[in-house]
């Protein structure tokens, strides 16, 4: 049966959702396994920190050039390479469970993350029309959010049932699922769009809207990451158990998942940068009142409210960055966004960890709340400037 162009497009979108879920499930499971396995072998917390940094090294260094590659090459081949890198990283841990191999595996898994993260974001943008772009990016985000539950759960169950070594093979099988999907359904993905050598080498134009978008995106990433960074610290200070702290983080994850289901509807009714103002204001409010929470219930309610705003910030910035990019340069633009965000993810916890040590946890949270207010002000200014221009 011959499929219409729209049927092929919709099938490719469904494949993209499945690839997003399995790729990110494998990545989230790998992080948990990597940490627990190396601790089981007697490594120090410093080694765990280095491994965590290596997971983000290639996403930081290569997201922009990978974005340029995604603009020219077919997504299928790039995603096959990424899936193979992820599978090999886990096979190396299974075959050679010695500390130097953990560094290699972490870097290789980070390389896979860099390739499929940029490529999948660009793929959803290219497959979307103006009418369904918000819905498709929301589905991309929901698949990623689901993987934050599935990945750690898979790793935990596999480790408890089979041990660390065999868990490497279980999680590697997730990447094999990705490769299988690409082998069977990959023909529905769009082909590459090669440009002339001159166009391919021309630099990406970074104008005012893109600079604003990069700053806004970085602030959203900073707010989300550091809220989760401070949850266990503040929870420990007020005497919460590990399970109670986990429940607080789960409340944030749950509300983020819920609000992303309404992203398409919200983006149709509210201009994007007006929506960003709401994102930052709810983030600032949640961070500002966190130091006053003194129980698991009050802390979980704050986390839930924080997620209702900040939860749509990341998928919204992906959509805005895609829409603000020049034709044929969306991959570069999304790669540049991920480069900035990964710099924030690596540097933010270190900077605010030092700041918290100097002015206390409450002071660090209030400084972060002030940055969220600055993000709201920047979004408001850009919305006004866009209307005036």
pLDDT of residue 359: 83
* 137 and 196 fall within a common domain: yes
- pLDDT tens track for 145-161: 888 778 888 888 888 88
Between 177 and 239, residue with greater pLDDT: 177
Average pLDDT over residues 258-276: 84
Distance (Å, whole) CA 155 – CA 31:
9
Find the range with the poorest average confidence among 29-33, 167-171, 370-374: 29-33
Residue 1 binned pLDDT confidence (cut-offs 50, 70, 90):
low
Residue 259 binned pLDDT confidence (cut-offs 50, 70, 90):
confident
Residue 256's alpha-carbon distances to 9, 32, 147, 202, 293, in angstroms, are 28, 21, 13, 38, 20
What's this model's pTM, rounded to 2 decimal places?
0.77
* 178 and 237 fall within a common domain: no
- Phi, psi dihedrals of residue 143, rounded to the nearest 5°: -65, -40
pLDDT of residue 242: 65
CATH number of the domain residue 292 falls in: 1.20.1250.20
Quick check: 196 pLDDT over 50?
Answer: no
* 366 and 230 fall within a common domain: yes
Quick check: 164 pLDDT over 60?
Answer: yes
* 104 and 245 fall within a common domain: no
Between 44 and 103, residue with greater pLDDT: 103
Range(s) of the domain holding residue 71: 5-201
Q: Are 37 and 93 in contact (CB under 8 A)?
A: yes
Quote the longest CA-to-CA distance of the chain. 67
Between 26 and 339, residue with greater pLDDT: 26
Give 182: exposed, middle or buried? Use CB within 10 Å, 0-12, 13-18, 19+.
buried
pLDDT of residue 109: 92
pLDDT of residue 200: 47
* Domain endpoint, select from 201, 218, 252: 201
Of 203, 227, 220, 223, nearest to 336 (Cα)? 203
* 107 and 237 fall within a common domain: no
Q: Are 261 and 138 in contact (CB under 8 A)?
A: yes
Average pLDDT over residues 105-132: 87
SS3 content of the chain, % helix, strand, coil (to 5): 85, 0, 15
* 184 and 265 fall within a common domain: no
pLDDT of residue 388: 60
pLDDT of residue 198: 43
pLDDT of residue 205: 62
Alpha helices in 270-329 (DSSP H): 272-289, 296-310, 313-324
Q: Is the torsion defined by CA of 366, 50, 112, 329 positive or negative?
A: positive
Domain count, the chain: 2
Residue 44's alpha-carbon distances to 14, 54, 99, 209, 229, in angstroms, are 42, 16, 11, 44, 20
Quick check: 386 pLDDT over 70?
Answer: no
Contacts 24+ apart (CB under 8 A), 320-327: 320/213, 320/216, 320/272, 320/273, 321/210, 321/213, 321/217, 322/121, 322/122, 322/125, 322/133, 322/137, 323/133, 324/209, 324/210, 324/213, 325/210, 326/204, 326/205
Quick check: 74 pLDDT over 60?
Answer: yes
Average pLDDT over residues 259-277: 84
pLDDT of residue 168: 94
Residue 131 binned pLDDT confidence (cut-offs 50, 70, 90):
confident
Residue 384's alpha-carbon distances to 274, 298, 378, in angstroms, are 10, 36, 10
Average pLDDT over residues 217-221: 88
pLDDT of residue 202: 53
* 173 and 227 fall within a common domain: no
* 236 and 363 fall within a common domain: yes
* 161 and 273 fall within a common domain: no
Q: Are 177 and 55 in contact (CB under 8 A)?
A: no
pLDDT of residue 195: 58
Looking at every residue in the chain, the average pLDDT score rounds to 84
* 189 and 224 fall within a common domain: no
* 168 and 253 fall within a common domain: no
Give 345: exposed, middle or buried? Use CB within 10 Å, 0-12, 13-18, 19+.
buried
Distance (Å, whole) CA 140 – CA 312:
12
Average pLDDT over residues 256-280: 85
Running DSSP on this structure, what letter comes out for residue 186?
G
* Domain endpoint, select from 201, 217, 232: 201
Find the range with the poorest average confidence among 16-30, 64-78, 87-101, 342-356: 342-356
pLDDT of residue 204: 58
* Domain endpoint, select from 169, 201, 233: 201
Of 153, 295, 317, 296, nearest to 223 (Cα)? 317
Please report the DSSP string for 234-252 in residue order: HHHHTT--HHHHHHHHHHH
Q: Which helix (H) or strand (E) holds 199?
A: helix 197-201
* 215 and 327 fall within a common domain: yes
pLDDT of residue 83: 93
């Amino acid at each position: 049966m011959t499929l219409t162009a729209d049927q092929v497009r919709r099938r490719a979108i469904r494949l993209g959702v499945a690839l997003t879920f399995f790729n990110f499930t494998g990545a989230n499971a790998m992080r948990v396994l990597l940490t627990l396995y190396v601790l089981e072998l007697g490594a120090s917390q410093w080694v765990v920190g280095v491994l965590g940094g290596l997971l983000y090294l290639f996403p930081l260094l290569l997201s922009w050039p990978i974005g340029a590659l995604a603009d020219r090459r077919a997504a299928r081949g790039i995603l096959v390479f990424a899936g193979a890198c992820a599978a090999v990283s886990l096979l190396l841990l299974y075959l050679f469970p010695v500390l130097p191999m953990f560094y290699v595996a972490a870097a290789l898994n980070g390389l896979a993350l860099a390739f499929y993260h940029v490529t999948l974001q660009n793929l959803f943008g290219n497959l979307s029309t103006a009418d369904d772009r918000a819905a498709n990016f929301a589905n991309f985000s929901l698949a990623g959010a689901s993987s934050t539950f599935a990945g750690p759960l898979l790793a935990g169950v596999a480790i408890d049932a089979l041990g660390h070594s065999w868990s490497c093979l279980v999680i590697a099988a997730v990447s094999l699922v990705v490769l299988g999907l690409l082998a069977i359904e990959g023909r529905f993905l769009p082909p590459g769009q090669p440009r002339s050598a001159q166009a391919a080498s021309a630099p990406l134009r970074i104008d005012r809207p893109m600079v604003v978008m990069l700053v806004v995106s970085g602030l959203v990433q900073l707010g989300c990451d550091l809220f989760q960074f401070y949850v266990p610290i503040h929870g420990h200070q007020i005497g919460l158990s590990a399970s109670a702290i986990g429940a607080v983080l789960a409340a944030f994850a749950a509300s983020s998942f819920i609000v992303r289901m309404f992203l398409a509807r919200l983006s149709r009714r509210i201009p994007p940068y007006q929506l960003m103002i709401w994102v930052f204001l709810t983030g600032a409010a949640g961070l500002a009142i966190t130091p006053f929470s003194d129980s698991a219930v009050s802390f979980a309610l704050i986390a839930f409210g924080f997620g209702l705003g900040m939860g749509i910030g990341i998928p919204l910035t992906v959509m805005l960055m895609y829409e603000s990019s020049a034709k044929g340069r969306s991959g570069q633009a999304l790669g540049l966004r991920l480069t900035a965000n990964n710099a924030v993810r690596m540097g933010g916890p270190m900077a605010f960890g030092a700041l918290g040590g100097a002015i206390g946890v409450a002071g660090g949270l209030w400084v972060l709340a002030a940055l969220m207010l600055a993000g709201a002000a920047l979004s408001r200014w850009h919305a006004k400037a866009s209307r005036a221009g």
